Amino acid sequence: MAATLCHLNHGSGLKKLNDYLLNCPNITRSYQLSPLSGAAGTRRYYNRICIRKLEVERQKGSKCCFSRCRAELWDNTYKEETDYISRATLIWRAIKLPIYSVALVPLTVGSAAAYFHTGLYSARRYFVLLASSILIITWLNLSNDVYDFDTGADKNKKESVVNIVGSRTGTIVAAWLLLALGFMGLTWVAVEAANMRSLFLLASAVTCGYIYQCPPFRLSYQGLGEPLCFAAFGPFATTAFYLLQSSTSSELPITGTIFSGSLLVGFTTTLILFCSHFHQVEDDRAVSKMSPLVRLGTKRGSQFLCALTASVGKLVVSFAEENHKDKTKIFMAKYYCVRLHTIFGAALATGLVVGGMITRKYAPNPILL
C-alpha cells in the first residue's frame, strides 16, 4: 500500500514539474552532486539532466506544431466562411429582380414614343404588357439556368435556380408555363389594339430568346448571344410596344424617333448581358461556351466595355477596369449596367414625353384610355 502511494505521488510530482518547465522556459536549475561521489556519479546526473532537457524541448516542439496546425485550421475555416454565401443571398441573386428592368425600359420608351407622336396613352395596356413581359423574362432566366445546368456551365454557379431548388424538371415546367401565360397577355393586347404587326415583332423577340439558349440552337455558345439580345429588346420589343399604344382606328408609323430609341435601348440591354459573363469565364470556357468575354478575355473585355460606354458609363468603366480579375466583385458589374440601362431609359422616355407635351402645348389634354 505504501509503495503504491509513493508511486502515485511520484507520478503526480513529475507531471507538475513537467507543466512548470513548459510554462517557464527560461528557468535556471541547480543540482547538488553530493549524494554521489566520483566521475561515474557526475556523468549519471549530467545524463539525466540532458535527457530531461531533450524531453522538455520535444514537448515544446509538439506544442509549437499544435499551434501551427491550429493556425492552419483557422485559416481554412476563415476561407470557407469567406466563400460561404447565405441562402437568402443566393435566392436574391436567383430572382435577379434588378434584371427585370429589361422588361420595363423597352415598354416605357415605346409608350413614351407613341405619346410623343399621338398624345395617346393606355395605362391598362401598359400594365398588362408589363406583367406579360415580366413573365417572359422569368421564362428566359429559368430556362437559361436549366439548359446551362445540362451543359455543365452552371456547375459552380451557386445562385442557379436548379442548384437551389434541386429539381430540373420542376424548373423547366414552371418556365414554359410562364412563357405561355406571358404570350397570352401579349396576344390579348395585340388583338385589342388590332395590330398584328406588333404581335409578329414580339414573336420575333421571343424567338431570339429561344434560339439564344434552347437546344438544338444554343447560339449563345457560338458567341451570338449579344446580337440576339440587341435585336430582341431593341428593334423588336421596343417597336412592338410603341405600336401597341396606337388606337384601333389608325396605326402608328415607324419613324426615325422610335427606330433610334429602340437601337439605344437594345444597346444598353446588351451591356447587361455582356457584363454578366465576367465572373464565369472559366466555367463557360470549360463547356465550350464561346461568349464574347471567353474570346476576348476579361482584360480586353473590360477595355471593350470602356470603349462602348466611354460617353455615358464612367462608373461602369472604372469598375470593370479595376475588378475584371476579381470574380466576387466583377459579379456586380451587370448591376451597374442595370442602373445605366434604367437611368438611360428613364431619361429617354422623359425626353419623349416632355417633347410631346411641348409640341402639343395648345392642343387638348391627352386621352387616357
pLDDT of residue 208: 96
Highest mean pLDDT among 86-95, 98-107, 184-193: 184-193
Q: In the predicted model, is pLDDT for residue 128 greater than 70? A: yes
Q: What is the mean pLDDT of residues 281-305?
A: 79
Highest mean pLDDT among 75-79, 260-264, 338-342: 260-264
Highest mean pLDDT among 19-23, 219-223, 323-327: 219-223
In this structure, of 125-129, 136-140, 218-222, the range with the lowest mean pLDDT score is: 218-222
* pTM of the entire predicted model: 0.66
pLDDT band at 186 (very low <50, low <70, confident <90, very high): very high
pLDDT in tens, 29-40: 444 444 444 555
Cell 524541448 identifies what position?
A: 57
- What's the CATH code, domain 100-249+256-361? 1.10.600
Q: In the predicted model, is pLDDT for residue 105 greater than 80? A: yes
Alpha-carbon distance values, 342 to 77, 102, 301, 307, 339 (Å): 40, 8, 22, 20, 5
Q: In the predicted model, is pLDDT for residue 69 greater than 70? A: no
Q: Sketch the domain layout of the chain as residue ranges.
A: 100-249+256-361
pLDDT band at 55 (very low <50, low <70, confident <90, very high): low
Q: What is the mean pLDDT of residues 278-304?
A: 78
pLDDT band at 182 (very low <50, low <70, confident <90, very high): very high
